[in-house]
Structure 1
Amino acid sequence: MQARSERSRRRLVRAAAEMFDAHGYADATLGRIAQAAGMTKGALYFHFGSKDGLADAVQEQGHELLRRQVRALDAAGTPPVQGLIDLTHRLARGLREDPVVRAGFRITVECAGRRPPVADLHAAWVREAARLLERAREAGRLRDGVGDDGPRALLAAVVCGISGAWGAGLSTAELASRVAALWATLLPALVPPGEQERYRTQAPSGARGRRGAGAGADGGAGGGAGTREARSAA
């Protein structure tokens, strides 16, 4: 019974994410969400007392997706600068392919100022990126003289830019190419001279989509050599 209830809850959260993504918070009514989930409105109210509760559940699922990405990077021993690059690529793919991520960003914008405040998925991505940046600093992988404010502001702009580029309707491959070009420009300003080549700016294999076949199993742009360099930077 409990497993069935949890499945129903997941269906509702998924349907809510799709409705918020497609129609926005204001126009995604509980009736439409219940219908999209193949459930009655009464069944919806059994799990969620309000649309705000559903919005929070969608945001929490978006946070969990982010936490999984971060845990995967940590488990793989990915150097922090490479992890930062890969995290932004995974955000780009999530915005292109996952309605939960898109809905989370849209809810953040449309519910700004709500009391109690809605969970801020955009801010969560910026915080994780800042954490990786600080780890890179502690490991001595940033240029001398690189302060805190500039890179943090830059990361916030990168996250905003990725979400804006997705809104332009780019394909997964096109968006990955834009993010790679962005990092090719940013890396010289962040890492010490001569260390830019340590890092792969292309999307890892898991964040390229189907057309990413042909990359190394670990996502290196040119196979093993680029990946060995990235790992040696840890």
Structure 2
Amino acid sequence: MAKQDRAVRTRQQLIRSAAEAFDQGGFALSSLTGIARGAGVSSGALHFHFRSKQALGAAVETAAVGLLQDILAPRPGDRPAPLGNLVDTSHVLARRLTEDVVLRAGFGLAADVTWRQDVALWQVWGGWVRSTLTQARSEGALAPDVPLEDVISTVTAAVAGTQALARLDVEWSPRYAVAQFWNLMLPRISAAMVPLDRACQTAPHE
């Protein structure tokens, strides 16, 4: 059992080290030697768990999808209003993207031209945004003149894109950007305005 636990920990360390490497330098420029060193294991141990960098990248992406799905999953017994849920979840996602390198690397791989895989985290996020806004439209929570497809694409891109901008400017705050986005967006799309303090969950200097 102890040997199995060590194997699980080693695999997790390699996934995290790979995520850090992909996040900092992209998939193509990351080396297996550097990833093994970052995880504190030998190259042989890395190849025991992952036969190639492609397999390691897929593991990072799979782990990131799991983290994202956990953020998006409904809580037992919780039936929040769809627009309020969308705002709250976008704040959680922005915070987690700042804090969790595996989740951040997953979104980064989706935008990396050197990476080719079937799963793209922004598509998972976009699908959830679509279902949540479709529910809001069916419940009459969206303003009647708001084009649904326009809102879906805008929300998907705005929230997922804040982290990409943070890569280019270390002073850029994804959490503050998301709060400001909702301050502008909610009055336009909401049939019955969501309380403004829900949009402004993040202080300017947080």
In the superposition, the TM-score normalised over structure 2's length comes to 0.86
The equivalent of 1:157 in structure 2 is 157
- CA distance in 2 between partners of 1:12 and 1:75 (Å): 36
AA of the residue aligned to 1:28 = S
Alignment map for 1:83-102 (pairs within 5 Å): 83-102=85-104
Alignment map for 1:148-227 (pairs within 5 Å): 148-167=148-167, 168-170=169-171, 174-192=173-191, 194-197=192-195, 200-203=198-201
SS state at 1:141 partner: coil
Q: Following TM superposition, by how much is the alpha carbon of 1:43 offset from its aligned partner in structure 2, in angstroms?
A: 0.9
Mean Cα displacement is larger for which, 23-32 or 71-80? 71-80
Q: Following TM superposition, by how much is the alpha carbon of 1:91 offset from its aligned partner in structure 2, in angstroms?
A: 2.3
Q: Is the CA contact 1:21–1:103 (under 8 Å) kept in the aligned structure 2? A: yes
Q: Following TM superposition, by how much is the alpha carbon of 1:113 offset from its aligned partner in structure 2, in angstroms?
A: 6.9
**What is the RMSD of the two structures over their aligned residues, measured on CA atoms?**
2.4
The equivalent of 1:227 in structure 2 is none
- CA distance in 2 between partners of 1:74 and 1:83 (Å): 14
Task: Write the deviation string for residues 62-87 of structure 1: whole angstroms up to 9, x where unpaired.
Answer: 11111111225565433211121122
Task: Write the deviation string for residues 5-27 of structure 1: whole angstroms up to 9, x where unpaired.
Answer: 21111111111101111121111
Q: Structure 1 pair 83/74, CA: closer, same or farther in 2 (3 Å)?
A: farther
Mean Cα displacement is larger for which, 125-134 or 50-59? 125-134
The equivalent of 1:3 in structure 2 is 5
The equivalent of 1:21 in structure 2 is 23
Q: Is the CA contact 2:159–2:178 (under 8 Å) kept in the aligned structure 1? A: no
AA of the residue aligned to 1:81 = L
AA of the residue aligned to 2:47 = Y
Q: Structure 1 pair 196/82, CA: closer, same or farther in 2 (3 Å)?
A: closer
Alignment map for 1:28-177 (pairs within 5 Å): 28-71=30-73, 76-111=78-113, 114=116, 117-167=117-167, 168-170=169-171, 174-177=173-176
Mean Cα displacement is larger for which, 35-44 or 157-166? 157-166
Q: Following TM superposition, by how much is the alpha carbon of 1:48 offset from its aligned partner in structure 2, in angstroms?
A: 0.8
The alignment of Structure 1 onto Structure 2 pairs a total of residues equal to 202
Q: Following TM superposition, by how much is the alpha carbon of 1:56 offset from its aligned partner in structure 2, in angstroms?
A: 0.9
What residue ranges of structure 2 are gaps of 5+ in the alignment?
Answer: none
Q: Is the CA contact 1:82–1:200 (under 8 Å) kept in the aligned structure 2? A: yes
- CA distance in 1 between partners of 2:76 and 2:120 (Å): 23
SS state at 1:166 partner: helix
Q: Is the CA contact 1:88–1:179 (under 8 Å) kept in the aligned structure 2? A: yes
- CA distance in 2 between partners of 1:179 and 1:89 (Å): 7
SS state at 1:77 partner: coil
